[in-house]
Every structure is written in structure tokens, then in C-alpha cells.
Structure 1
Amino acid sequence: MNEHKIIALLGLAQKAGKVASGEFAIEKAVRSGKAKIILVAVDATINSKKNYRDLADYYEVVCYEVLSKEQIGTAIGKSPREVAERKKNGGGSMSKYRVYELAKEFDTTSKVIIDILARNNIVAKNHMSSIDEDAKTVIDRTFARKTGTFTEEKTRELAGQQQPALAAVRSDRPIQSGQEQRFDQQQQRSDRQGQSGQQRFGQPQLRNGQSGQTSSNEQRPSQQQPGQQPPRNDHPGQAGGGQRFGQQQPRNDRPGQAGGGQRFGQQQQRNDRPGQAGGGQRFGQQQPRNDRPGQAGGGQHFGQQQPRNDRPGQAGGGQRQSGQQQRAGQHPNSAEKGIRRDGAGVKPAFERSFDQHGSSRRSSSNRKPAVSQVSQQQKQEPVRPKTIKLGEIITVKDLAHKMSREVSEVIKKLMVLGIMVTINQEIDLDTATIVASEFGVTVEELPPEIDPTLIAEIEDDEASLVLRSPVVTIMGHVDHGKTSLLDSIRKTNITASEAGGITQHIGAYQVNYQGKKIVFLDTPGHEAFTAMRARGAQVTDIAILVVAADDGVMPQTIEAINHAKSANVPIIVAINKMDRPGANPDHVKQQLSEYALIPEDWGGDTIMVPVSAHTKEGIPELLEMILLVAEMRELKANPDRSAQGTIVEAQLDKGRGPVATVLVQKGTLHIGDSIIAGTAFGKVRAMINDRGEKVKKAPPSTPVEVLGLSDVPLAGDILNVVDERTARMVAEKRQSKKRSEELGQSQKVSLDDLFKQIQEGNIKDLNIVVKADVQGSIEALRQSLENLKNKEVRVNIVHSGVGAINESDVMLASASNALVIGFNVRPDANARKLAENEKIDIRMYRVIYDAINDVEAAMTGMLAPEYKEVVLGRAEVRQVISIPKGVIAGSYILEGKITNSAQVRIIRGGIVVHEGKIESLRRFKDDVKEVASGYECGISIEKYRDIKESDMIEAFIMELVKPAS
């Protein structure tokens, strides 16, 4: 093949990325098995040619001397002349290296590389900085000095120009393992051996167990004492020559022993046979481990481990494996050979690379006896404690660990006791005590720990307290005029917006009177809202007990009295409905005196004010009494501290997310504060007062709606302002504690209960899914429904939540054969279709006792379904048109049809805001009887103007259903 073809092939290989140039790159490519051919320039130095031939011989690749330096450099685009000219002109090297790449190559950090370059006046700012070939040479030289494997010849080569040599890369050749390799080329180049009798690299060693001959000028090293470091042998020709090409450093545990060099890739092996002559070992064999001192030893290589003296009294002989080749002693190297093989042997770069990547640790076979000894040790029985200390709750896994028992044993004991648990389920202290006693272990109760879910209370300084507005809760029996009285005070009309004229939620309002503010909390009077009344009494300063003058004291009146007394709240009695003909305030006073509420005009201390919500009689006197009592109590709070308040009510709004009505009790709440309430946390995104105005801060005794919580909190939860990290951490702990408590409520089954259930086989569960618009209504419904039970049916609340009825609720009801009850909410279109397909009964209510009465009637079998609601269609309000007579809702019929005789309900965000009748139904200014799906129309609703865009209008009729005969 002529020179032009070789140059063309090199150019193609360079473009394909199959060429490696430079000594380190060639060594890496050959060692990994990717390079098959090494090309050396004919005008390269003798030492360079020898090094590359040795490298080729060692890794069994082909080495050719072709072309010149200039021709090879031109073929691969790296002409030595151009490189020299660039260096001369300050242009730098063509090759660029990143700092992080060099750090990875030398197994160090980028900072170490940068420090080395800085010491040599080379600037590298960070790990991505590029450096040239000269800087790379500095790094190579520095790390070579540290490892002691840098020759003078190599220093000269790196300081001078790069030797042009190539390695053609073959990517499909597998990486060579450290097994024994033989070189056929060795015998072909036997004529190149030195005349002095020294052995060339890669030459076969003497066989038949002959020990290596030593030169006449060899020096016998002196014998060392045990524990003494061996002298460094830096003179060529001494016994125990250096290690062979690419081998690991030998572990010389027998000081003073004369040992021959080991072959490439040897592992350490313990040699327990004394008196052997030092011969080299074959490639791939384990390296002997010498543990006996007293032998004559060769010089220690730089960087070798220090010898270890374990066994005295052995004469120095070379190491030898049975059936292995022995290496002949070598004559001191002549100057032209360039590779030293004595005790201070220095290896070329490709030997060092293999040492870095090769295995230098002892084989696992040396560690097997120790492992087997451990495995042979008999397992001792664990020490089982007689007494353990437990808290209030503990998981089954932790209990088993404390008793040194298997978890399966503890679970079996619990199953015998009739408790079905899992490994991570928690049990209470009493159950754990019983289980522990079964294993003969005594349980001691630990003192209660500080609850991590509690927020530390901040004590306020007396000097920082200022007067605040009083919080007044209006309480009393249902339909005694509590909300009407509040209407008169606020000069608004709240009752009309409540379904059935009955308060369904707690309302928080602020009223200004004589320049002072009063906060009113309006609580429901129905028997189902016991929890709401109790909560209202806990956050209030003054309780107003409303009693109708014509009805007198009723059951919820007595309950309200008890709530107020238990909360230690002063009571002001408002005797309402004084405008009625049958009003008798003296009779009311007499009834109240039976419950220790003695009026002031009778010599008692209870303020009683006759009022009338309709005629507004006595309203000013009532407000004056409230301010008087508040002034006497000296209600104070610190406005400059972190805010703390109580969740009065909470709901899930479709557009705004979780919305909580908060009564701020201490401090000032600002927009942007990190808050936590129960298991919900977040930041205050917006605050809205009772008049619908946005505010930026809320001082003490101010009710506001807060947006920004992650979830809907429970009514009655305490709201605290903390840092964001604490809020998230405490909320997660509270959620985890809540889940643990739910998991801990395991059913305990006994044989007696099981037999009783078998006997009462006719008992059935009425499963119910409850959805409501606010959290307080869910509490009331859940509590009332769970109290409904008879001999045939038990009520089981499967799920309860805030928000509209969706598909998941219907699917849950279908899976558990449950009834869906919606309180002030409606199902969406998908949920209604799914309910029709699954035959799930969905019942919607706006008055709470209607739901309770229907469920109770269904349980007793007295429910007569005379009427059934049939939904005709749904329309979306696209535009609101105001006219003198009212408001026209420009609507688009989404499904079904709208008839002019149907009843309609307005749904906003999944919540029913109004029910009424259609006043007029028009299409293109013409009155029509009905409008079908896909058409537009104008709808006017009787006595209702608060229609907004995107509202849903649902048309329905009540059909008479004949009872089955």
C-alpha cells in the first residue's frame, strides 16, 4: 500500500472518530481493546519507537513504522510543525481539555486541578475552563510525581513535542480482561534483545522451575529487623527486581526476601512454603502473600505497601507458584533500553494506567475463611425484656421489637383476642398491655409527651393589651326570631336568603353603634346544630338569648343556656316578638328563673330587654346593654402579635377554592401571612369582610373570609400565624396523626357479638353519602343521621364532604349501595347521568330537618313517595339583560328542554342560590311554551334579579308517583 492510500485511510478514520493520537490516548484505546493497529512515524525517536513496540507486544496488537511525523500530522489534521509554530507565536495548543474531564481522569476534584494550574501560573476559573496541551502536561507531570511513576525520559517527552503515533480504533473489540496473555511476536523479535544478557520486555521466562540467575555485580541486601521498613533499592542489578509490565504492587510481608518480579495482572497470594527461590509469576496468577520475616528481600518499589512481619525465622528465597514459570534474573539495564527493571523500577504510562484501573485488592478467596467463621457461629437466643415502657399508642411492629418477638407472633396473639391488625397499624396502651402479658412482659406507661402538633401559646404583656370589640353570639330556639333580630340591627334582609326562613349556617357580622364596633355570631336554633351552638358559645364574649314572648322557654333555649354557662359567658336575654298579641314577658321571666336566670327588676343579675324585630322596639336599649357589659368586662387584646383566631365556618368554593370564615381573636391578620388551621395550611391570598369588601388586615374581633388554604378546615379549628416551614411540618404531622387514629379504630369481634349478629340477621345498614355546601352543615347532618336508629335499620355515613355532588360520590354510593344526600348542593351533569345508569337515589334538601325527617320515615317504612322530581333540562346564562321590569337571562339550552310552566333553580358553582318559577320564556321576542336543546332563549324568573353570567338554570317538574299496589 503506497503512502497516498495510507494518508487517505487515516483521513477517513479521523473523520469517523476512529483515530486516537498521543501517548495517553493510544494507551487508553489499546488497553480497552478498541485499537488494533499502532502507527509510528519512521522519524520518531528510538525511545518512542521502543515504547510503542513494547505496548503493541504486550497487548497483542500490530505496530507499523510508516510515513513521517509531518505526513501523519497532516493526515489527521494535527501537524507537529503547525503546533510548534502556534506555541512559538503564543497561540497555544490545538487540543483543549476541560478541568472537570482531567479531574475525572485523575480521580480527583476540579478544585485540586485548578490549584495545581494556579501554582504553575496557569489561569483556570472554574470546572468548565479549557486548558491546552501544555497545561495538560503539567497536570500529568504533577500526578506522575505523586505516584512515583514518572521517568526522566517521560519528562523529556512531555516537555518536548508530542511524539506522532496513532492507534486505529476498532469499536467492536471487547475490553481485555486481566487473564494471562501470550505474545507470538516475542519470539519473532528475539534478535532485538540486549547483548548484556538482560531480558527484554515481553520475552518468555525460563521454565522447569529454574531460579533466575543474578549478575556478578548484584548486591545482597542486608537483613532487617521485624517491623523495620525495608531499604529502598534504587540500584539496578540487585536481587528481587522490579515488577513486570503493568503488574500491581506486590505485597511484601516477608522483609529481606529476595523476590523476582511478578508478571502482569497478578493478584496477591499467601505463600506459606518457606525456602523457595524468587521467581516471577505468570500473568493472571495471584500474587503470593509473604507473612514471614527474616528473608532476604529485594528493594521496595516507590508507593508499595510496607512489609508486614508475621512469622519469623524464614530464610530468603524467591516466590514461586507450583507449575509456574520462573523468571530469570536480569542484568542491569543499559542506557539505550530506557525501561528500568530493578527494585526501584519505574513504569511507563500505559503500565501506570493499568495499575490505576486494575484490581489491587485481595481476591475474595482470602476473605472466605473469615466469613465462614462468622457463619459458623451459633445464633444466640435474644435477651427478652421483662418490663417495657410504652406510650398511649404504639404500632404492632414497634411492640414486637420492644419485646424481642417476631411480628407474626404478636399479630397471632391479637387475632386470638379478636383484633385484626397489620404490621404498621397502631394499637392503644390497654391492648398492648394485654398482648404483652401473654408473653410474660410487664408494661409501664410513659409520661405523656409534648404533642408536636400543638402550636405554642404566646403570652401577651399587660402593657401591650388594648380594648377590642365584643363578640356577641345570638342563641335561642328555632323560629324565635334570632336572625330577624339581627336583620333589624344590621338593617339588612338575611332571613329571605335562608332556605325555609331558618338559619343553616353560622353567620359572622360586624355592626357600628355609637362609634363602637360589635361583632355578632348568628347560630342556628334547630336541634341538629348542637355542635354549632357549642362552638359559638366558646368563641363569644356575650351571649344573647332570644326567647319568643308568645312561646316561652323551649328545648333549644335550655340547651343554649347550658352552653353559655359551661363557657362562663354572661347572658343577656332578648324577649322577642313583643308586637304579637299573645306576648307575655312575665311568663318568660318566670320560666327563665327556673334556670337561675333572675331578671334585674326581680333582684337578680340577668339583663332582660323586651324587643321586637319587626317594629325595632328595644333595639337601641339592647345594643347599649351589650356595650355596657363589654365595658365592664374590659375586653382587651394585643394587636401587634402574630394573629390567632377560630374557624367559624368553612366551605369549598368552585371558583375560589377553600374559603374559611375566621374570627380573629388575638393579633392582626395580614395578607401574605403563613397560616395553619387544623390539617390545612397556606398563605392568606385575600380577606373579605362581612360586607363583601376586600381588606388587607384584620385586627382582633374582626370576622373575615380567608382565601389561600390548602384544604377545607373543620369548623372550630384554631387558626395560627406561623412561618411557612412550621405550618407545613405541623400540618403534615396532624394529617399523619389523623390517619393513624383512623387506622387504629379497628373492629373488635367477639364470639358473643358474632352470635348476636347471626341471630339478628334482619338488621340492615342504611349507607348514606352526605355532601353539603359548608362544613358546619355536614357536622349537623352527620350527627343527626347517626342518632337515627331502630331495630331494623342502622344509619352508616359512608362519606361526607364539602362541595357539589360529583361522579366519584356516585361511584362510591354504587359500590356501597348507598343513598346520596345533598344539602344546598346539586349534582353535575355527569354525576346525574351516572346515577341514572347505576340506579342511585340522589336526594337534595335545603332545610335540614326535611332531610332528617325523610331518612327517619324511610327507616320506619312510613315514607310514601308521592312526588318525584323530574329534571327537564339545563341552560347556561350567556348574557344578562336588564329591563325596567326585571332581568332577562340570555341563555343557551345545553340539554333537555325548558318549558314555561316548569320550576327552575339557579346553580352557581355547584351550589343552589335560588328556586322559583319562570315568569316568561321568550325566543326572538316571542313568548314560547318550550325551547329545546341547542337553541337560545331569554328567561325571566319571578321575583329574582341576582342572575349572573355562567349561572346554570335547571328546569324541573314534580311528578305524582302512584304507590305500588
Structure 2
Amino acid sequence: MSKVRVYEIAKQLDISTKEILDKLKEYGFEVHSHMSSLQEDEVNLIMEYYAQEEPTNEKKVESEEVIKPPTPTLSELEKAKETLKKQEEPLQQSTQIADPRTTKERTRPDLTHQVKSTKGKNKKKNKNKKLEKAGNMGQQNFDNENKNLNEDIKVIEIPANISIRDLADKMNMAAIELIKNLMKKGKMATINQEIDFELAAQVAEEFDIIVELEEEKDLLEEIFKEVEDKEEDLEARPPVVVVMGHVDHGKTSLLDAIRSTHVTTREAGGITQHIGASTVTLNGKKITFLDTPGHEAFTAMRMRGAQVTDIAILVVAADDGVMPQTIEAINHARAAGVEIIVAINKMDKQGANPDRVKQELADQGLLVEDWGGDTICVPVSAVKGEGLDNLLEMVLLVAEMNNYKANPNCKARGTIVEAQLDKGRGPVATVLVQRGTLKVGDPIVAGCAYGRIRAMVDDKGRQVKKAGPSTPVEILGLSEVPVAGDMFYVANSDKQARQAADKVKAQGRLQILGQSQQKVSLDDLYNQIQEGQMKELNLIVKADVQGSVEAVKQSLERLSNEEVRIRIIHGAVGAITESDLMLASASGAIIIGFNVRPDTATKAIADREEVDIRLYRVIYNAIEDIKSAMKGMLDPEFVEKVTGHIEVRQTFKVSGVGTVAGGYVLDGKVGRHSGVRIVRDGIVVYEGKLASLKRFKDDVKEVNTGYECGLMFERFNDIKEGDIAEAFIMEEVPR
């Protein structure tokens, strides 16, 4: 019998691979992963174990049923209740004598302190007098008085500004009563008109209601805050997969081949409803594929905080091997912390050499399982459709091992995958639900866009009513086109969604206003970054042809990294116009021109508005200029520099002070403010700072090579002869 892998046994028994691994380890078998091979006797043992397991479980259930505690009868419950009542009577009597106040009354004086009117103060005095009498006169009289007070005084919380309708709801009154009251005060108001807290307090007081200012909640924090899910609320979700690799290695062909094999035929007429993502099904389990144009888009989404993918399929051509973009894709996937599965494509070609590909992958730190590593590698042919099922099985296996879960029973949140303006349907966005269940009718907010979902369409072009975790859908009903990569959130109401979007927009406007006050130019960008903490460079690109615009945009956006983001806020064909300058002035942008020039009038406006215009004929020159500016935008790195080594030759214990080391500077020098680490037999036993540095009895700033010194270390006295103290400083190094 040939060797059988663990995951194949799990598939045959229809149980999880993790369970098989745990059971094998329990029996002492040496298994490392789902790809480990089993001998014939090991396979027989595990098959026999699971064949016998079912009857054992039935007996266990029977035994559990036998020891269930009996349910008490109604008469037994009544007897127990009577006994408990008799036991409590003496306790209640003693409590009434010691403290005649009720629980309700004990909390009530806190409200009376807030009564502002004379009427309220008098009631408080009367209440206190009656409270004193309550201990002597009995509980009943006090309860009656307390009840009357409760009927008279009501306390509500309202925000700083509130509409008449909302105030009436909180006061449990008809809005018309409040409008009449305001008219008597000479103020005309409609039901939706907002009034301030002071006026609301005056109105409420006339109806014997006290108002308090409710604690102001940050609207954005309330909607956008991260929520920790309980373990019991989590359910398994499909894995989200992105396909990456070098250009022409077959990413698109592989995706198309998977779709044509595993996606149900679309609507009649061959209409393809492409929504930027698709779901395939294998053995009843779903996998979601995201269509990204390349790892640059993948990274751009990650930079905006959208950790959307779980697994990256790295496509490498068998006849071409690892290329520069393949290495970039590997680095992007690693930085995102996603699992990597290698698909060696084009196995049908004449010059296919998978072993060479595996060697080149190993050089990049991806050691495949065949060679003793832990990277799954699957040979495929997108053209012939070979190896696709095996590739999808490996995706499901990785998903099973990582146990991807989400809470489907909460408000939905997720990521905007792509968005555009459709002439017939308005703003359209493809979203990936990551948590909760998104439903038609939900009010959502995504950056500056908001709205109630009018319709949802899945990747097959079908209308759906709801979408759970890891499900991609196209949504209609937003106020404007959102930014791809932004998160979307479900709000409590349309009003809350609109307010949140307005607040996001206002914050953006304030940021733009702040930028416009301090104009940006490449020449003094570094100094401006230091003062303004600027981490984003806005650019406007104008060129003579559309091809140049696209080339420049892509080249410049690739310069973005996790610390600095380059935003092309506008790109178009034609001369630099006045409207370009106004946009640049408002958003603090720099204008990049290719083979175009501003006219005299436009140049004069640029000088007046202090807008920096850079004109080029070669893309490379623009990239170099932007790179130089970005170096000023990056925070400097701090690098450790060792300045010297001191050998501890004697130690002295001084009472009330600690241990003093007598040392000799072997090389370099040691400064009073240097960092120090003590190395003993090659192991660092302490790292910190010097408490003192002396030459004889004098404090000194530094001691050079060949001189003796006295040392004390902050919060460390375990110094021994023969220890080496290494002195170092942290130096600021420009990027």
C-alpha cells in the first residue's frame, strides 16, 4: 500500500484534519502537519478507532440521561416557597426597625438635589422632615409621601441641542403642548426645529420635569469602534483569496479557469455581471476570490487599514520561474501576514521546469513541502484545467487549519472593494462583508458616502436580500461614490449615517483648510513635514495624452509605502488650467505636468496662490524628485552605535549605595549618558543606564581607552569580576 497523507484520511472519514492530527499525536505518532504521510498500520489503527467510536458515544449519552436531576413538582415548589418565607420574616422585621427606608427612597434624594425651582426645594425639605418621622410613624405614611414625590418629579437626559419632536418624546408628551408653551414665551417653533439646552430646561421645568445634559458621545467612535466578539458567537466563514504574481504568468487565466469550472452558468444571453469578486464552491464549501489588478492595489488597500484577504495564491510560470514582480508579491503577502499557496502554472508547456521554480522559491525563503518546508505548492495548467481541484482543496485545507471565523449575528461591517458611478444606477460599490450580515434596507456609511441599501446583487448577477461574512455583493443606494479600500459600517438610522458622513467630510475639509494655509512645495517639503506631521502628498497630473497620465499615475503611486502615501487627486489630458490651480490650492497639492505648460495668466495665479508646478519631459526625473521629497517625509531611523567596552576588574559593596564596579576601558570610550549592557559569558544580563561614572573621586563626563573608572548601574547590583560592560548610543540616521 502506498503512503497516505493525513488530509486524505480526514477527507475519507469526513472529519476535520485538526481532529485527526490531535488523535495521532495522542497515540504517540510523529506527525507534523496535514501533509504528513502515514504507514499502512497507522492508517488501519485510525480507521478502526473511528469505526468503534459511534457506539461508545451512544452509551455515554444514555448514562448522562440516567443521572439527570429530577424536575421538582408544583407542590414541592410551593412547600419550599413557604419555608423560605417563614425564614425571611424575622429578618424583614429587624431590617424595618433598623432602616425603615425602601430601596426606592434611598436612591431618590440624589434626584432632589438637582431641583432648581423653589417648588422643588420646598418638596425636598418636606420630604426630609417626613423621612425623619418615618422611623417613628411607620412605613406606610412614608411610602405614600414618597409616591407623591415620584409622581411630581421626573428627570430626563437630553443633548446640547434637541428638536421639539425628540424633546416631546423624552418628556412623554404631545409636541403641540411644547409648541404652545414656546408661543407663550414669544418663540415660534416647528416640530422639527432644534432648541438649545437652556430653553429646553425652561420648558421642561414648567411641566415639573428636570433635564440634565447627557454625556456627549463621539458619533464616529460609536459607529466605527472595534467590537470584540465572544467565542461562542463566532461561526466558520469562507476564506478570502487573492491571486498574485508576475505579469503574464497566468493570474487572469487561472481565475477564469477556476470560474468556468466551478461557477454556475450566468443568466441567459451570456451577460457577465462582473463585480470585482467571485465565489466558487467545492464539496459544498465556499471560497471567495478577490480580483485585484496586482499587488500594488493589494498593498494600497492594506495601507488604508483594510485587511481583507486570508490567503494569497502566488502564481509562478513553470517555464519562466521567479521574476522581480514575483518577489514583490511575496514581500507584499508577507507584510500583510497572509498565508501563501504557490501555484506553478503552465505545466503543459514544453520548457516547464517545476524543480527550478522550487529552488528559486527556496532562495526567497519559501521552502515547499516536497523539500521539507511548510509552503504548499500545487502544479496546475490554466489552459488545460489541470490541478485546479487540488489547488482549491489546498485552499480549503489551509482555511480549516486556520479556522477562519466571524460573527454573522451583528451589525455588518466590511470593505469597499471597488466603486464607480453608473449612468443608469448611480453610485455603485462592490463590498466584501467581513463581520455581521448586511441586509437590504440597512443604513450604511463609508467615508463621506452614506445611504440606505436599495438593492444588492451577488457575483452571479442575482438579486439578494442579505449577505454574510466573506460574501462579496454589489450595493446600490449610496449618496456618492466611496473610495475603494475604505471600510463601510452599518449605522443605527439614516440620520446617524448622514451625520457620520458629514462629520467625516467636515474633518476632511478642516484638514484641507489646514493644508491650504501652509502651501506645499518640493523644495522645502522636509521642513514642512517636521512642523506639520504631514504623511500624505497630494498630486495633480496633467499630460498631453491619456497614456502618459496613466503611466505617471502608476509610477508615482508605486512610491507609496506604509509610512507615506502618495495620492493622485486628479489626472487629465490638456493644459494646466485655473481650476487645476484652485484644486491644488484647496488641497495642498503639487501639480506635475508632462509635455504641457501653463499660460501666462495661469502662471500668475499659481504665483499668487503659491502653488508649486513641476514640468517634465521624462517620467524618471519626476520619480527622482518625488523620492527626494519623500525622504524628508519619512521619520529618521535610530541606529545603535557601540562606543566602547569596559572590563569589570573589581567590585565594592557600599552600604546605602549599592555595588560599585572598578573597570578598565578596553577600547573606545564610555560617556556618562551612554546606554550600557552587561555581558557575562556571551549572555546579556542587564541593559540600562549608568547611575554614575567616576575617575578616582570625581564625577566625569567620559572616560577614554586605557583609563580606569568607577561605575554604578541604575537598579542593578549583581556585578561580577570579569563582566564586560558595553557602552552604546542611539544615532539618528536619515532615510
TM-score by length of 1: 0.33
Compare relative contact order (CA 8 Å, sep 6+) and give the higher one, 1 or 2. 2
TM-score by length of 2: 0.42
Q: Which has the higher strand share?
A: 2
Q: Which has the higher helix share?
A: 2
